[in-house]
Amino acid sequence: MNYYETIILCQPDTVKSCSACCGLMNFSDISRQALTRFLARGAKRSSAHLSASDITDQGDGRQIRDLTSYICPHQGLIFNKRPGCLLHPQYRMKSMRHESFFGEQICDGFLCPAHEILSTYHKKAIINLIDDWYCYTIAVIDPRTTVWLLDMITERFPIAYQREDVIKNILSESLEVHAKYLSSCTGPVFFYSVSEYNAGRAGFSLDIDSRDRDDERMEIRAIIERNL
């Protein structure tokens, strides 16, 4: 096993997590408010799907970014109100993931592109410095932007790392800004393989030199300077 596989980003601690691979970021509206509402209804929705033996319903297609992808109904807010699988044995005391569309083996073995793209340093940085599930999810689904952001802070504003509270504020505010720009994208913003991500990120990743993202970069640099 490669070392990158030993740092699992899905549920790194008790205060944050990411369920993007469950299809959470496939909604057209990926604002914090919309996703929180969806997750908050998870327990009721999951029970209804289990009772009906329904594993394929995707609801209104107009709400979906990628009709070829899937939004699992069995994701919701678990312990400490963070996203997670409502069929997972840590939540149910027994595994019920065989009732899901992908099944237990796929759910248990999948690792998203961030696991390969992010270095050990970058993984530890987002785990240690981001305490909010929404900002953490944004950092995971667009790992090249996460690398760009962390490296830019290190190279241009190294003084920020002398204060953990400062760097936490910078990261959370910057990722909120990036989330706003991601929401304005019309296509997928989460991909299941590195090759798909590399092909699809041209429209939103900040590490790609494009004038289309100059406004966002300026907004993030202003956040950094305001916090220092």
pLDDT tier at 1, thresholds 50, 70, 90: very low
- pLDDT at residue 55 greater than cutoff 60: no
What's the pLDDT tens digit per position in 105-119?
A: 777 778 999 999 999
The pTM assigned to this predicted structure is 0.90
| Span of 19-28, 55-64, 163-172 with lowest mean pLDDT | 55-64
- pLDDT at residue 56 greater than cutoff 60: no
Name the more confident of 85 and 149: 149
- pLDDT at residue 22 greater than cutoff 70: yes
- The whole-chain average pLDDT of the chain stands at 87
As a whole number, mean pLDDT of residues 77-106 equals 76
What is the reported pLDDT for 147?
A: 97
- pLDDT at residue 91 greater than cutoff 70: no
Sign of the CA dihedral running 148, 154, 160, 163: positive
Cα–Cα nearest to 227, from 156, 177, 179, 169: 169
Name the more confident of 85 and 147: 147
Cα–Cα nearest to 174, from 145, 201, 194, 199: 145
- In 3-state terms, what secondary structure has residue 186? coil
Q: What stretches of 157-213 show up as alpha helix (H) in DSSP?
A: 164-184, 194-200
pLDDT tier at 59, thresholds 50, 70, 90: very low
35: tokens are 């996703």
Q: Residue count of the chain, please give it.
A: 228
Domain ranges of the chain: 12-109, 114-227
- pLDDT at residue 60 greater than cutoff 70: no
As a whole number, mean pLDDT of residues 61-74 equals 82
